[in-house]
Amino acid sequence: MPDTLPSVSAVIVAAGSGTRFGGERPKQLALLAGRPVLSRTLQAFEASRVISEIILVLPADWLETIIDEAVKPYGLTGVKCVPGGENRTESTRRGFEVASGAIILVHDGVRPLVKVDLIEKVARAAWEHSAALAAVLVSDTLKKVKDGLVSKTVDRDALWRAQTPQGFKRDLLASALAGAQAETATDDVGLVERLGLTAFVVPGSLSNFKITDREDLAMAEALLSSAPAKLPRTGHGYDLHRLAPGRPLFLAGVEIPFELGLLGHSDADVMAHALVDAILGAAGLGDIGLHFPDSQARWAGVSGSALLKEAMAKARAAGFELVNADVTLVGERPKIGPYRQAMAEAVALALSVPANLINIKATTTEGLESTGQGLALAALATATVQDRR
């Protein structure tokens, strides 16, 4: 999760203007299932919560066209675009010069099927080991061929195919690029090797291949069409606690000054509890009673914020990230208008998401029911999550 990593910049290198497609347009603009290849690559990085900025290195001649066709129409407004250099190393350098992250991930613009999960694994490995790359073990038998004839079989033991992303601690990539003034490597880890250092291998995925010709494009189309659509999922939650004297009142993680508080085994934060149920429901993980039973002493007095944090960790472990949440308090008093922003921020902090994903509101019940008579407060919540596996 984002808490353990410093800022990560993604440098997407898409500076080649050549094409083996036979057309005149660069392959990063080729349509893959109706969208430019490059826009899909960018979307994968945009979807990762560990990435704090995206820098896109483009061929100078095509800069405006690519921005107009593959960046702007897809809402990728935060992407910084810079012109590339004469070769791969020079293009990486141009991207690096504007990157501010403590970790730099370099990725080929034409590997559009990269998974969010792989991006994050390489970022973490780079932070731990200073340099890391995605790679896949070679499974085919390798032959050395001369003039159309096999001259020898290469021992494939311990042979891996390098992919991207490749990740580096900032200072290491700076040294690697500085040491590469006159020479270039076909990948960025190659520059680190020239310093006599090595990189950690993160098992990549066969689907994370580079699109270099029409056949690759057709293969990527087939993979995309066979993947089941991952639709957002929604859960709802409801909770009610009695109001009683002599108890503090916690609502959505914020202590509210009021003459009554809510009764319960925990801090009885009715809004947090409804949202915990909504998150668990959206992730298909049952309910609050299953994960945090009243019968267990360890949950006695536990705060609503702590339960939200635990529930979100369980949802993330199951592969889900929060899209948004909406929480409604039901009751006559206290009025929570002045606390809405603080509540949204407290919930967001507990869930490790931006506060603008959380909406807090309230309603009354016309003086009817326990909530209308001041005997209890109830809360309703919905949470929407997205499958990020």
123-131, 170-178, 250-258, 273-281 -> range binding Mg ion (CB under 5 A):
273-281
B/e letters for 326-338, b = 16+ CB within 10 Å, e = fewer, are bbbbbbeebebee
Instruction: Tell me how far, at minimum, the Cβ of 358 lies from Mg ion, in Å.
Output: 19
47-55, 84-92, 238-246, 328-336 -> range binding Mg ion (CB under 5 A):
238-246
Instruction: Tell me how far, at minimum, the Cβ of 33 lies from Mg ion, in Å.
Output: 45
Instruction: Tell me how far, at minimum, the Cβ of 63 lies from Mg ion, in Å.
Output: 55
Does position 276 interact with Mg ion (CB under 5 A)? The reply is no
Per-residue tokens: 389: 């596996």
The number of residues that bind Mg ion (CB under 5 A) is 2
Does position 269 interact with Mg ion (CB under 5 A)? The reply is no
Instruction: Tell me how far, at minimum, the Cβ of 376 lies from Mg ion, in Å.
Output: 11
Does position 277 interact with Mg ion (CB under 5 A)? The reply is no
Matching residue, tokens 């998150």? 279
Binds Mg ion by CB under 5 A, chosen from 88, 107, 124, 273 = 273
70-78, 192-200, 228-236, 266-274 -> range binding Mg ion (CB under 5 A):
266-274
> ∠ CA(296), CA(297), CA(302), 5° rounding?
100
CB neighbours of residue 108 within 10 Å: 23
Does position 267 interact with Mg ion (CB under 5 A)? The reply is no
Instruction: Tell me how far, at minimum, the Cβ of 382 lies from Mg ion, in Å.
Output: 17
186-194, 271-279, 320-328, 373-381 -> range binding Mg ion (CB under 5 A):
271-279
* Euclidean distance between the first and the last CA atom of the chain, given in angstroms as a whole number: 14
Q: Per-residue DSSP letters for 150-169? A: EEEEE--TT-EEEEEEEEEE
Of the pair 68, 294, the CB lying nearest Mg ion is at 294
167-175, 216-224, 239-247, 369-377 -> range binding Mg ion (CB under 5 A):
239-247
Q: Which helix (H) or strand (E) holds 107?
A: strand 103-108
- Rounded to whole angstroms, how far apart are CA atoms 56 and 180? 21
Matching residue, tokens 């790359």? 133
172-180, 203-211, 269-277, 373-381 -> range binding Mg ion (CB under 5 A):
269-277
Instruction: Tell me how far, at minimum, the Cβ of 100 lies from Mg ion, in Å.
Output: 43
- Rounded to whole angstroms, how far apart are CA atoms 8 and 127? 10
Residue type, 1: M
CB neighbours of residue 182 within 10 Å: 5
Per-residue tokens: 15: 């500076």
Does position 27 interact with Mg ion (CB under 5 A)? The reply is no
Does position 88 interact with Mg ion (CB under 5 A)? The reply is no
CB neighbours of residue 176 within 10 Å: 25
Of the pair 187, 239, the CB lying nearest Mg ion is at 239
Strand ranges for 204-288 from DSSP E = 233-245, 249-251, 254-256, 260-262
Of the pair 88, 273, the CB lying nearest Mg ion is at 273
- Rounded to whole angstroms, how far apart are CA atoms 281 and 136? 37
Does position 107 interact with Mg ion (CB under 5 A)? The reply is no
Binds Mg ion by CB under 5 A, chosen from 239, 267, 277, 321 = 239
Does position 280 interact with Mg ion (CB under 5 A)? The reply is no
Of the pair 40, 273, the CB lying nearest Mg ion is at 273
Report the residue closest to Mg ion, judged by CB: 273
- Rounded to whole angstroms, how far apart are CA atoms 49 and 52? 8
Q: Which of 73, 74, 55 is nearest to 13 (CA)?
A: 55
- The footprint of Mg ion (CB under 5 A) covers 239, 273
